[in-house]
Structure 1
Amino acid sequence: MNFNVNFKGSYSILFVDLEPGEIIIGEPGAMVTMSGDLEIETSTGGVFKALKRAFLGGEHIFLNKYKAKNKSRISFAPKLPGDIDIIDLNGTVYLQSTSFLASEEGINLDTKFTGFKSFFSGEGFFLLKLSGYGKLAISSFGAIFSLELKEDEKITIDTGHVVAFDESVNYSVRTFGGFKSTIFGGEGLVVDFIGPGKIYIQTRNYPEYIKWIKSLSPKDTGSR
């Protein structure tokens, strides 16, 4: 199986070339093109895990499985304008809920709850937990870049810019600054990461973008 990303940057697309018998798992609605002979199966990957993905991770209950009957090609694109990166997974990585695009069949998709502090803050930080071996395609809002933290090296990132991070990285979610910073400074939750391990970061903040779009909408004053 071969993964290739074209048009790197704001409008990336993933092309996957499959040999006969190979299987690729894709996010529903992400398929762009198919060529060759592909058998499509929609499944939950386990009802309990599917419900957790839907209600905690914000993902679809179902995932699409594409099996090649002969040499085939399929392409995927994310919902948001942004980049795509490929991770050669050998273990476990945590992923923000909007960033899963596609993976090889040997990767298990589950959900991790990060604690009640983030749940009640109004800016949830639910994670997808991907474990196993194989290629994983992740997507971002804006460009994507990675940092490799050394042992005990620390960095603080706004939750809206986190895409993924290795299981080896320790993390804790907290509010940014005090009451004034949170309410009036436009900041919400941040994550303190401590290495070792790799972190993937996106250059745009999806929650803040949605807030900005909503601020442009006409307000209903109730007058006639």
Structure 2
Amino acid sequence: MQVHTRHTPAFGVARVSLAAGEAVQAVPDTLLASSFGVTEVSQSRGGLRTHGKGAPTVFTAPKDGGWVDLAPADPGDVYPLELDGRTGWNVAKLAFLARPSTVRVDHGWQALQALFGGDGGFLEHYSGTGPLVLACAGPVDAFKIEAGELITVRPQYLLAYPDTVQCRLRAVDPSGPQSIRTGEGLALDFAGPGTVLVQARKSR
């Protein structure tokens, strides 16, 4: 599976090129166009829920291969995050657009359970190899953090960070409203080394 993007960063479209019989799992209703012969199957039962977006759809290429063009529902960028099989990534739930079968979602990831106190938060963990395609509310910035360096990011702007980065979740104002589900009233402190990906506009 290969991913090429266009119309970025304001109205990004991801073209996913598939080998013969290869499949990609994507958010439903994001298919803009495809090459002829690509089949579409909705995982209406027993499939992964894409954070309120419904069960994902699986697109499979015919014997000659093919492609699908995926366009997020909202304006913004699309970003292929390449997983190397060694380091997992913690990703904003609203950002998922598409993934191959070689990239998996790790439900109940221990580090996230510890971060959110066992409750379902605004992040999910991915591991494996291949491109994880993310839909972003704005252009993507990469903050490279050196060892011993600290930065703070608001959850609504966070896109993803690797397992190599240390993370702490805290309340901005302990007396104010807070939501583990949306990140309202919270801040994330990161310690390097590593790279934190953020989007230049916050998710709605």
TM over 0.5: yes
Give a deviation string over 1:21-70, Cα, whole Å, max 9, x none: 221111112211111211222337x94x83xx56xxx2445221111112
2:203 pairs with 1:206: yes
Alignment of 1:35-54 (within 5 A): 35-43=35-43, 47=46, 50=48, 53=49
Select 1:75's aligned residue among 48, 56, 69.
Answer: 69
Larger Rg: 1
1:18 corresponds in structure 2 to 18
Question: Which residue identity lines up with residue 150 of structure 1 in the other structure?
Answer: E
SS of the residue 2:94 aligns to:
coil
Deviation at 1:199, TM superposition (A): 1.1
The answer on whether the counterparts of 1:96 and 1:125 sit within 8 Å (CA) in structure 2 is no
Question: Which residue identity lines up with residue 24 of structure 1 in the other structure?
Answer: V
SS of the residue 1:98 aligns to:
helix
Alignment of 1:43-192 (within 5 A): 43=43, 47=46, 50=48, 53=49, 58-69=51-62, 70-90=64-84, 91-111=87-107, 112-113=112-113, 114-116=115-117, 125-177=121-173, 179=175, 182=176, 188-192=185-189
Aligned equivalents of 2:173 and 2:151: distance in 1?
Answer: 15
Q: Which runs of 5+ in 2 are unaligned?
A: 178-183
The answer on whether the counterparts of 1:28 and 1:62 sit within 8 Å (CA) in structure 2 is yes
2:43 pairs with 1:31: no
Aligned equivalents of 1:59 and 1:107: distance in 2?
Answer: 20
The answer on whether the counterparts of 1:15 and 1:74 sit within 8 Å (CA) in structure 2 is yes
Distance of aligned partners of 1:158 and 1:11 in 2 relative to their CA distance in 1, 3 Å threshold = same
Question: Which residue identity lines up with residue 39 of structure 1 in the other structure?
Answer: T
Aligned equivalents of 2:38 and 2:141: distance in 1?
Answer: 33
Greater helix proportion: 1
Deviation at 1:151, TM superposition (A): 2.1
Aligned equivalents of 1:167 and 1:94: distance in 2?
Answer: 7
The answer on whether the counterparts of 1:150 and 1:196 sit within 8 Å (CA) in structure 2 is yes
Aligned equivalents of 2:132 and 2:203: distance in 1?
Answer: 21
Moved over 4 A (4+): none
TM (norm. structure 2) is 0.82
The answer on whether the counterparts of 2:22 and 2:65 sit within 8 Å (CA) in structure 1 is no
TM (norm. structure 1) is 0.75
2:188 pairs with 1:194: no
Deviation at 1:177, TM superposition (A): 4.4
